[in-house]
Structure 1
Amino acid sequence: MKRIFLISLSFLLTITVFAQTRTMYLNWAANVAQSDMKRNPEGWMIDFNKTPKWDYCQGLMCSALLKLNALTKDKTYYDYVLKFGDYMVDNDGNVLTYKASENSLDRINGAKFIFTLYDKTLKLKYYKAIEAFRAQLKTHPRTSEGGFWHKAIYPNQMWLDGIYMASPFLAEYAKRFNEKETFDDVAKQILLIAKHTYDPKTGLYYHAWDESKTQEWADKITGCSPNFWSRSIGWYMMAIVDVLDYLPLNHPQRPAIKRIFSNLTKSLLKYQDKTTGLWYQVTDKPGAEGNYLESSSTAMFMYAITKAANKGYIEPSYFAISKKTFNLFIKNATRIDTDGSYNITKACAVAGLGGTPYRSGTYDYYIHEPQRDNDPKVIGPFILWCCQLAMIAK
């Protein structure tokens, strides 16, 4: 019976993905979101947490749910985010489990959705929380050129991931509270890491850069980590398109940032697997032994590219690529169970550099990081991707 169900489902999906309408994209986003909310009835459970935690995955998911709420007017998504916010932020603006002394950019990403909660509730506690996260960045340790360290435990290091974790929050703060000089700092983060991690041979960006060149993973001449991790590039691309929402149109660095995005998009497409529509865990080694197809990076790339096309940063021709990739993604990276729950598969659970046990950044390291279903780092970007596709569909 289950086999019949799956065969029938496969047939229906084959038909459905070609009927690309606004409703179809929003239905996919809604079904994935509702399935994830059912798996995680409390927002702090996101990312497979057993106890409450304030971290970047919750911020990513809450931002995605608020975008879906804005497009569908379904209050369920907003209520879920508000419940999480009210639980994690006390009346004095203190955030449960957050420690500014950690100097972790990851914690900043959790704060982005608080802007919306403050707008809608006008609760002073949310304003206080926003100010607390802004205060961290005022004293956050930096490289000699002014780049934010990824975390205090990763001294002198800038990671592509970190640009997404802090820069969109800082850009939105700058616009809301008229900190004009802060826009220069936001642009600096994007341009600095591009300067230090860009590889002209591939057109890609290495995962991280160690200014001190003392880490085992760091090249002794460039300070770069040795490989291109697809999800780290995805974080960087999402950071750029989200920052551009707030960076003034006349900012002198805006054209350079847009060029980085456009050129990176062109380079990335050379490495997409044309059969599945997915990118590999290690970007520039498609089909290499042990390298696996990875869904979170694919969703991140496609959200960023589709949004950039929507905003006019890149050519409208990229819409066709996004739609085709969506069809293939549904076929190769999703599953609908017999209970009706929607799942996204093939996501790398986690990857990083240094730490304990030490992560070397070698090719062998990345391909041995496990994959799992329904990781928030694919669920959130997939919802955002669907929302961008819905905005161009009829």
Structure 2
Amino acid sequence: MNYLKSLLFLFLCFATSNKLFAQEDAPNRIPKYPVAYEFPNTDSIKQVLNRIRVYYEATSPQKVINKQTNKEITDLSKPDKNARVSDGFSSEWSYTHGVVLSAFEYITEVTGDRRFLNDNIRFYDFVTNTLPYFVKNEEKFGADAGDWKGISHTHALDDCGSISAAMIKTYLKNKNDKYLPVINHTADYISYQQLRLSDGTLARHRPQYQSLWADDIYMSVPFLANMGVLTGDKKYFDDAVKQILQMSQRLYVPEKELFDHGWNVTSADYDPHFYWGRANGWTMMSLVELLGVLPENHPGRDKLMHLYRSMVRSLANLQGGSGFWHNMLDKNETFEETSCTAMFTFAIAKGINKGWISHVYGPVALTGWNAIKTRVLQNGAVEGTCEATTFAHDNTYYFNRGSSIYATHGYGPVLYAGAEMIKLLQNDRFEIQKAKPNSTNSTFHFLLKSEWPKIQ
């Protein structure tokens, strides 16, 4: 009798258990991704890139205007102390515009769409055609007159490095010799006029005496690398390598495999560390650009590659569950930021395409792109980008940075990320196993075809 009771009890338990499992709400077992966990396609990426191009292009007519009347000045033979370049992102001689124009050149290379490169040519022709006019205005009316101050009054790497790097890339496509005086002016400034430490590391007297900014890696290295390509002169490659390696001696933190935002000689070894997203993004962008053109036998290449690979490893672990990275990389309380997410997505996808890092990082780039595209508005504006940020020494400042569509630091990196993702999706070295929609357990796998035996 006891045996029958025990058997009945077990049967009831089993029946109840099955009923509970049967009644379980199946949708709750499916992951609720904050950003769609989906496989992008090249056409959708191209559409995003073109929306950004159209928006960016429309921000300025690229004309010379009278700043008081706002009317166009068409006769450039007559000096006018009120003459200025029309406002707008696409009329700026700025480092952020330089990233956009470098990305435009790259998109044309990847997709064959000439509309992007044509925007570069339009801008640089506008600059070089109007620069003599503004120089004459300054000669007649004084330093307050004129425009293109970053060329005529270069005072910092921000004024010249990034925007001139893109100018070299454009010159290599259209060979407009009017660009060369500006390019050579930038080369002279970076090589001989910009403040350097005693060991030759590029520095600023801002905010502290003899300060290093991770940002300045991008403000100098891409230009130096492309100057090496343009001239074939090894000294530019050597200087580019030196800048990253010597910056890393002060800014790279091996335990974190990340770069501190800044360093100054006053605090030296005891300088506080702040792992700002975009500072690390500038570093990653510079590493991949330099590695892409640096001779394979250059003695500094292996050290650069180690920096790059170690940062990729760390960044993969710091990526948030949405695909974004946070404004302060090691502090999830800070907001999910667009520009650094795009920079890391580009740099990781580039490394996979080049074979510098393992293809297993593919899903990191893929989910990064899925996050980025949610920040591109229908009109092509890019939101969620951290505002311009100085080298600070307190968490309160970094924690409370704002973001805006007018922070143009995000546009170029998003364009670059999209272009590299197109290359990644078209890379025939891989087979990509796609995650199954509405699955309880399915992910993306990038498989290297050459590792797998061929099935007859």
TM-score range, shorter chain: 0.7 to 0.9
1:98 aligned counterpart, secondary structure? helix
CA drift at 1:277: 1.3
1:136 aligned counterpart, secondary structure? helix
Confirm or deny that 1:104 pairs with 2:156: yes
CA distance, structure 1, for counterparts of residue 55 and residue 223 of structure 2: 28
**Contact kept in structure 1, 2:260 and 2:275, CA below 8 Å:** yes
CA distance, structure 1, for counterparts of residue 372 and residue 90 of structure 2: 32
Say if 1:76 and 1:143 are closer, same or farther in 2 by CA, change over 3 A.
same
Residue 149 of structure 2 aligns to which amino acid in structure 1? Answer: T
CA drift at 1:50: 8.3
CA distance, structure 1, for counterparts of residue 171 and residue 233 of structure 2: 19
User: 1:155-166, aligned counterparts within 5 Å?
Assistant: 155-166=209-220
CA distance, structure 2, for counterparts of residue 172 and residue 201 of structure 1: 32
Residue 177 of structure 2 aligns to which amino acid in structure 1? Answer: L
Partner residue of 1:83 out of 122, 128, 144: 122
CA drift at 1:203: 2.1
**Contact kept in structure 1, 2:105 and 2:170, CA below 8 Å:** no
**Contact kept in structure 1, 2:107 and 2:116, CA below 8 Å:** yes
- The answer for the alignment partner of 1:279 in structure 2 is 325
Instruction: Give structure 2 stretches of 5+ with no counterpart.
Output: 1-34, 65-83, 136-146, 427-456
**Contact kept in structure 2, 1:171 and 1:183, CA below 8 Å:** yes
CA distance, structure 2, for counterparts of residue 201 and residue 152 of structure 1: 27
- The answer for the alignment partner of 2:244 in structure 1 is 190
Partner residue of 1:118 out of 148, 168, 171: 171
**Contact kept in structure 2, 1:209 and 1:223, CA below 8 Å:** no
Larger Rg: 2
CA drift at 1:387: 0.6
Deviations along 1:176-219, one digit per CA (max 9) or x if unpaired, are 212113322111111111111122332221101112x1xxxxxx
CA drift at 1:59: 0.7
Residue 150 of structure 2 aligns to which amino acid in structure 1? Answer: Y
**Contact kept in structure 1, 2:59 and 2:88, CA below 8 Å:** no
- The answer for the alignment partner of 1:309 in structure 2 is 352
* TM score, norm. by length of structure 2: 0.72
CA distance, structure 1, for counterparts of residue 179 and residue 209 of structure 2: 30
User: 1:19-30, aligned counterparts within 5 Å?
Assistant: 19-30=39-50
Aligned-residue CA RMSD in angstroms? Answer: 2.8
**Contact kept in structure 1, 2:214 and 2:280, CA below 8 Å:** yes
CA drift at 1:53: 4.0
- The answer for the alignment partner of 1:335 in structure 2 is 377
CA distance, structure 1, for counterparts of residue 113 and residue 106 of structure 2: 11
CA drift at 1:153: 7.6
CA drift at 1:151: 6.6
**Contact kept in structure 1, 2:276 and 2:328, CA below 8 Å:** yes
Instruction: Give structure 1 stretches of 5+ with no counterpart.
Output: 1-13, 214-219, 354-359
Moved more, 80-89 or 117-126: 117-126
**Contact kept in structure 2, 1:33 and 1:379, CA below 8 Å:** no
- The answer for the alignment partner of 1:393 in structure 2 is 425
**Contact kept in structure 1, 2:349 and 2:424, CA below 8 Å:** no
Residue 422 of structure 2 aligns to which amino acid in structure 1? Answer: A
Moved more, 183-192 or 254-263: 183-192
User: 1:172-211, aligned counterparts within 5 Å?
Assistant: 172-211=226-265
Confirm or deny that 1:297 pairs with 2:368: no
**Contact kept in structure 2, 1:238 and 1:300, CA below 8 Å:** yes
CA drift at 1:91: 7.7
Confirm or deny that 1:325 pairs with 2:368: yes
- The answer for the alignment partner of 1:352 in structure 2 is 390
1:258 aligned counterpart, secondary structure? helix
Confirm or deny that 1:382 pairs with 2:414: yes
Residue 107 of structure 2 aligns to which amino acid in structure 1? Answer: L
Residue 323 of structure 1 aligns to which amino acid in structure 2? Answer: L
Say if 1:99 and 1:73 are closer, same or farther in 2 by CA, change over 3 A.
closer
CA drift at 1:92: 7.7
Residue 131 of structure 1 aligns to which amino acid in structure 2? Answer: N
- The answer for the alignment partner of 2:142 in structure 1 is none
- The answer for the alignment partner of 1:31 in structure 2 is 51
Partner residue of 1:57 out of 76, 96, 106: 96
Say if 1:81 and 1:176 are closer, same or farther in 2 by CA, change over 3 A.
closer
- The answer for the alignment partner of 2:111 in structure 1 is 72
Residue 23 of structure 1 aligns to which amino acid in structure 2? Answer: D
CA distance, structure 2, for counterparts of residue 181 and residue 51 of structure 1: 32
**Contact kept in structure 2, 1:157 and 1:210, CA below 8 Å:** yes
1:85 aligned counterpart, secondary structure? helix
Residue 97 of structure 2 aligns to which amino acid in structure 1? Answer: Q
**Contact kept in structure 2, 1:160 and 1:233, CA below 8 Å:** yes
CA distance, structure 2, for counterparts of residue 43 and residue 199 of structure 1: 46
Partner residue of 2:275 out of 200, 218, 228: 228
Residue 278 of structure 1 aligns to which amino acid in structure 2? Answer: F
How many pairs are equivalent?
Answer: 357
Residue 83 of structure 1 aligns to which amino acid in structure 2? Answer: R
- The answer for the alignment partner of 2:453 in structure 1 is none
**Contact kept in structure 2, 1:237 and 1:304, CA below 8 Å:** yes
Identity fraction in percent: 23
2:122 aligned counterpart, secondary structure? helix
CA distance, structure 1, for counterparts of residue 90 and residue 100 of structure 2: 17
CA drift at 1:368: 2.0
1:158 aligned counterpart, secondary structure? strand
CA distance, structure 1, for counterparts of residue 349 and residue 60 of structure 2: 28
CA distance, structure 2, for counterparts of residue 195 and residue 43 of structure 1: 45
CA distance, structure 2, for counterparts of residue 249 and residue 265 of structure 1: 21
Deviations along 1:307-341, one digit per CA (max 9) or x if unpaired, are 1111111111112221122223334x3433xxxx1
CA distance, structure 1, for counterparts of residue 401 and residue 39 of structure 2: 36
**Contact kept in structure 2, 1:102 and 1:151, CA below 8 Å:** no
